[in-house]
Amino acid sequence: MKLNDVLMQNAIVRINELQNEIKEQAKSIEGSQKYIEQQLKLFKQEELLRKQVKSIENEGKKIANDFFKHHSQTIENVQMNIGRYQENG
């Protein structure tokens, strides 16, 4: 594993430990367990949405790249014609 992978794995383990500690400490406060569970559920939903947004953004980039790759010569010709038109007024 790369150093970054090891650091990420260690960070994930530590985050899970902290979450468990918070859950244990929160048990002494009435309603806190439900609150934490609801917040974690929302966090997981948010993460899923972020992944979906990233996927949509990547798909949009791919579509744009494919379009410009396929039509780059046509776009260059149009730009040259616009430049000529502007020069000749």
pTM above 0.85, yes or no: no
Contact 36, 23 (CB under 8 A): yes
pLDDT tens sequence for the chain (89 residues)? 576 888 889 999 999 999 888 878 878 888 887 888 899 899 999 999 999 999 999 999 999 888 888 778 787 877 787 877 777 76
Phi-psi region of 2 (alpha: psi -120 to 50; beta: other; left: phi over 0): beta
